[in-house]
A and B are shown apart, each in its own frame.
Chain A
């Protein structure tokens, strides 16, 4: 797919939607309005947006505990998402899943996940199904640097390559698994190196650059659809908020300087600078987009706040077919 102006604006819109949703969700969490744990995606927007710009509702993704960004980039509606985070009956999962299990089958989103590393094997199954049904789609599994240490990732990588499945392994390497820096959880610098051990290409991508992500995904998807098997894209990125919530537990496991360095490469600021340079989107028009997305987010919050709580009588519904 060519990266024309329309595609650039589309990626920009996805990133702004994620940033705005997550920023407001973070505020609501800090105000005690969202129950449970919230893992926010701010800083990593270029990854979900650059990949998802290629996908349709018939392409499947698996996500992680940090999953709102993936669902938004895949077309998730703010109202139903906030409703789920608030535990309302109108949420994507009728209030039964919450942030860590937010999902939407119609959009091809096989769920955020509370179990680190659980996604890749499920995506193998989705890719197997795509191949079996002989349709021109792909399955994409998103996972973190920390998750790449789970056995489940390794089993999935081996099977996907073995069966030449139409699949992408997208590692969002944000440098930390919870509070542990990458150097303390694995002896390699590039997770992409692991691909070689399974017989698939492994590519390191600048995860703050949506165009780089888009282009890397383009090549990997082409390969997958041609029947040549999976690829691993390692997107180097950073989360601007803490592991959980905005300020987390206040642990000092990373420095303000490090955060500031990465924030200089804010994926949205960099992308907007590029769009301005290309005369695709002026600074003024970018501001308008942010404002209109914020209005959508606020509408979504209002919808969620005015939605009913689930009826306790539904407790036992949906355990079985």
Chain B
């Protein structure tokens, strides 16, 4: 077998962006420091040289303007990819997101199409403190009209960005900063990962761990630890958060009868609550125990490394939660 080509998570963003620009003549990229600097995380390195400054545009520090640019350009025939460096900055542009981008098609009786891809970064663990570390995906999953994906691997990064760019709806691609250097197999050619499809990344029969983004990796290491004690956890990577693959969640629950939902976002009001509710609606009779949830405690993300470590969910906490769940049942 030929050796599989590997890319980092962040290089997969650049490759996906390049693929989209090659495939779609009306696609362009706009955002702060995306062109000259290639993105502050390196997401768009090389794009300016290859495509020129008409297809990748440096914007002022004007997030409301950036999202508005995307909405207006998309409604009039282009296929924008707009970059909001950290998803914490969504506060600056929430009206354009929530009241314009999400609703325009519906309010206009279906006459407007908004093929926008928004690329942004979530997550903590880098001591970036309260305003640069949040996982705010629940904000946007709550808005009918938006789609949201949160890839955990370089393969999914590329495939989901390409899918997002081909979709005629606004799609948020929520990336994770701490995963940027992760390596994984990424085919050179263009391919898609369908929106709305979860993936079983580890099979197991004793408990299901339903998760997404960086917590997929933590869940797999938790599963490996549990396995040493004879507990086989199934890990389901949701990949898409809106729409969510409820069928895949239910299928896994039917198999294992026990579920822990894991995300890095604050537990209260996080997607875990929604997932737990869906499980009790669709698979109540199969449950042997209440749905458990692992998420961040109810505080802003602290700066001090000691506090941040205590804050962000990790494999250890997932193991503890699974053990408690199994002992209770």
Name A residues whose Cβ lies closer than 8 Å to a Cβ of B: 35-37, 87-88, 93, 95-101, 113-117, 146-147, 149-152, 177-180, 184-186, 249, 251, 253, 309-310, 312, 314-316, 319
Given the complex of chains A and B, what is the CA–CA distance between A149 and B311 in angstroms?
34
Tell me if B61 and A177 are in contact (CB < 8 A). Answer: yes
Tell me if B32 and A178 are in contact (CB < 8 A). Answer: yes
Given the complex of chains A and B, what is the CA–CA distance between A217 and B152 in angstroms?
51
B110 at the interface (CB under 8 A from A): no
Summarize A's interface: helix, strand, loop or mixed.
loop
Out of B91, B300, B311, name the residue touching A115 (CB < 8 Å): B91
Out of A95, A151, A185, name the residue touching B306 (CB < 8 Å): A95
Given the complex, which residues of B lie within 8 Å of A314, measured CB to CB? 307
| A98-B303 contact given A114-B129, A115-B88, CB 8 Å threshold | yes
A90 CB to closest chain B CB (Å) equals 11
A255 CB to closest chain B CB (Å) equals 14
A99 CB to closest chain B CB (Å) equals 8
B75 at the interface (CB under 8 A from A): no
Tell me if A98 and B304 are in contact (CB < 8 A). Answer: yes
Given the complex of chains A and B, what is the CA–CA distance between A316 and B266 in angstroms?
13
Given the complex, which residues of A lie within 8 Å of B91, measured CB to CB? 115
Given the complex of chains A and B, what is the CA–CA distance between A310 and B61 in angstroms?
35
Tell me if A114 and B33 are in contact (CB < 8 A). Answer: no
Given the complex of chains A and B, what is the CA–CA distance between A35 and B307 in angstroms?
12
Name B residues whose Cβ lies closer than 8 Å to a Cβ of A: 32-33, 36-37, 40, 58-65, 88-89, 91-92, 126-132, 297-300, 302-307, 309-311
Out of B126, B303, B309, name the residue touching A95 (CB < 8 Å): B303
Summarize B's interface: helix, strand, loop or mixed.
loop
Nearest residue, chain A, Cβ from B53? A184
A-B contact pairs, 26 of them (CB 8 A): A36-B126, A36-B127, A36-B128, A87-B303, A95-B302, A95-B304, A95-B306, A96-B304, A97-B303, A99-B129, A100-B128, A101-B303, A114-B131, A115-B89, A116-B61, A117-B61, A151-B62, A177-B60, A178-B33, A179-B37, A249-B37, A310-B306, A312-B306, A314-B307, A315-B299, A315-B307
Out of A98, A100, A185, A316, name the residue touching B60 (CB < 8 Å): A185
Nearest residue, chain A, Cβ from B303? A98
Given the complex, which residues of A lie within 8 Å of B59, measured CB to CB? 185
Tell me if A186 and B60 are in contact (CB < 8 A). Answer: yes
Out of B130, B300, B304, name the residue touching A88 (CB < 8 Å): B304
B306 CB to closest chain A CB (Å) equals 4
Out of A178, A185, A249, A312, name the residue touching B307 (CB < 8 Å): A312
Given the complex of chains A and B, what is the CA–CA distance between A27 and B130 in angstroms?
25
Tell me if A150 and B92 are in contact (CB < 8 A). Answer: yes
Tell me if A180 and B131 are in contact (CB < 8 A). Answer: no
Given the complex, which residues of B lie within 8 Å of A251, measured CB to CB? 37
What would 5 more interface pairs be, CB under 8 Å, given A87-B127, A149-B60, A149-B61?
Answer: A101-B131, A114-B88, A149-B62, A185-B60, A315-B310
Tell me if A315 and B303 are in contact (CB < 8 A). Answer: no
Given the complex, which residues of A lie within 8 Å of B130, measured CB to CB? 96-97, 101, 114
Given the complex, which residues of B lie within 8 Å of A315, measured CB to CB? 297, 299, 302, 307, 310-311
Given the complex, which residues of B lie within 8 Å of A116, measured CB to CB? 61
Given the complex, which residues of A lie within 8 Å of B307, measured CB to CB? 87, 95-96, 310, 312, 314-315
